[in-house]
Amino acid sequence: MAYVVAQDIYESLTTVARSQGVCHGTIWEDSGVQLLARVNRADNTPLLQAEITSITGKVFLLDSTTPTTASSTPTVTVASVIFDTLQTDSRWDADSTGYNFKLQLGASAFATGNARYRIEFEFDPSTAGEENCVMVFELSVQERYAG
């Protein structure tokens, strides 16, 4: 299992949400990945489950003939992927503060080697009037010669 770690993915879940960029990683084809991130509010405190109504996930195969069509749409349950306390286990090596977002994507999402994949998560805030915001990971999936 590969891990992709993103430190402080979001600065804001307010009307103008700003991403701190795309998190990049590399995995092997036909292998799963755990995506880890620390998602903060505008005041730089960790996001809580109650502040998000839903999260929509989409995986795109960027090197396909239809790169803007999702190749898979994983089910993302807020209570399963957002932690109300920061996690500081051995998977997180970005810093000593920890992460509050963890999602595992299975090997079937990354079946094509020597390809680039984009994973987008759209957060729907529970507070009326706040805009949705997007967290993005891009993975380079390396071809396996055996298997």
pLDDT by 10s per residue, the chain, length 147? 344 445 444 333 332 333 457 888 888 898 888 888 888 877 778 889 999 999 999 999 999 999 999 999 999 999 999 999 999 988 888 788 888 999 989 999 999 999 999 999 999 988 877 778 888 899 999 998 876
DSSP structural state of residue 46: B
Cα–Cα distance, 110 to 130 (Å, whole number): 33
pTM listed for this prediction: 0.84
Return d(Cα 63, Cα 61) in angstroms, integer.
6
Q: Give per-residue burial for 5-27: e unless 16+ CB within 10 Å, then b.
A: bbebbbbbbbeebeeeeebebeb
- List domains and CATH numbers for the chain: 2-142 (2.60.40)
17, 47 in Cβ contact below 8 A?
no
- Do residues 60 and 70 make contact, with C-beta atoms less than 8 angstroms apart? yes
Residue 59 in tokens: 């995986």
Closest Cα partner for 12 from 145, 130, 121, 110? 130
